[in-house]
Amino acid sequence: MNLRDGLKDKKRIVIKIGSSSLTHPETGSLDLIKLEILVREISDLRNQGKEVVLVSSGAIMVGRRALGFLNKPQKLSEKQACASVGQARLMMIYQKLFMEYNQIAGQILMTKNTMLNDLNRMNARNTFQELLAMGVIPIVNENDTIATFEIEFGDNDTLSAVVAALIDADLLILLSDIDGLFTDDPHTNPGAEFIDVVESIDAHLLSMGKESTGTNVGTGGMATKLTAAEVATGAGADMVIANGEDFHVIHKIMQGRKHGTLFLSNKKDEFYLIDFLDKLK
């Protein structure tokens, strides 16, 4: 049996898009052709009766371009100002594109406090459930406008896994600038071998994660993706890490075709999300 065949039957899917997958590398500006493909892919999943949550980076990046920053802002106040402008612009673009395919998008902005507080977490879960029941596509990002070091997730890999666990998703797709998991960094080691399927996550596997990312746009390297895999699979979801260079890969993954590294769900008996959140404090 092909382990990927089961992906065709997934009903509740979280898709995470990194900043580097949304922009032109030469300018750092949004790649509108790629964005339109992304929206079309997600809209087609909705047309199949599937529920989709999009975790999208890009607010600070879009804001910094609008405000004239040539490089990534370093001061927290500058990042938050860029996020304030950029999040509104990014959502406006998403709303417009999804409307063309007769879909409704909603915005959810979260910080770590959303999850650590029992009441906030319950309210967030209820909001997700209601939006999905209404056929809305929630678009999630960290609330960078108010987030500080103490209350931020820090990367959307972790955020997307927490969202997947919170809403009982059965699949998490992380699209980034790498084809999947390798035995070493393929950018620096041409002998690195691709790993097709991961059945369980152990200490040796976690040691393969690298803290850095290959771009000056995103914030998450392979280490954060493996942490995300721990959370998502522990909560009962399968996870795929794949290259976001071409967003057509989404329907190929959903068809069970061999793209990216598949992490098989390994649901824990305990309430795994709470256990993970305790470690974040």
User: In the chain, where are the structural domains located?
Assistant: 3-280
> Which pLDDT belongs to residue 214?
47
Per-residue pLDDT for 155 more than 90?
no
Scored b (16 or more CB within 10 A) or e, 124-160 reads: beeebeebbeeebbbbbbbbbbebeeebbbebbbbbb
87 vs 145, which has greater pLDDT? Answer: 87
Residues 190-209 pLDDT 10s: 888 889 999 888 777 777 66
Per-residue pLDDT for 232 more than 60?
yes
Q: Are 90 and 56 in contact (CB under 8 A)?
A: yes
> Which pLDDT belongs to residue 219?
39
CATH of domain 3-280: 3.40.1160.10
> Which pLDDT belongs to residue 210?
52
In which residue are the tokens 């509108």 written?
32
> Which pLDDT belongs to residue 215?
44
Label the pairing between strands 238-243 and 171-176: parallel
Give the sheet arrangement for strand 105-110, strand by strand. Answer: 105-110, 137-142, 51-56, 12-17, 171-176, 238-243, 261-263, 197-198
> Which pLDDT belongs to residue 49?
97
DSSP per residue over 48-66, as a string?
TT-EEEEEE--HHHHHHHH
Label the pairing between strands 261-263 and 105-110: unpaired
Residues 119-142 pLDDT 10s: 999 999 999 999 999 999 999 998
Residues 70-80 pLDDT 10s: 888 888 889 89
Q: What is the mean pLDDT of the chain?
A: 87
Taking CA atoms, 203 is separated from 81, 159, 217, 226, in Å, by 39, 22, 29, 11
Rounded mean pLDDT of 140-167?
82
User: Which one-letter DSSP state was computed for residue 23?
Assistant: B
pLDDT band at 218 (very low <50, low <70, confident <90, very high): very low
Copy the structure tokens of residue 144. Answer: 């960078």
For residue 241, what is the enclosing H or E element?
A: strand 238-243
204 vs 101, which has greater pLDDT? Answer: 101
Residues 238-275 pLDDT 10s: 999 999 999 999 999 999 999 999 999 988 865 566 77
C-alpha to C-alpha distance for 245 and 196, rounded to whole angstroms: 19
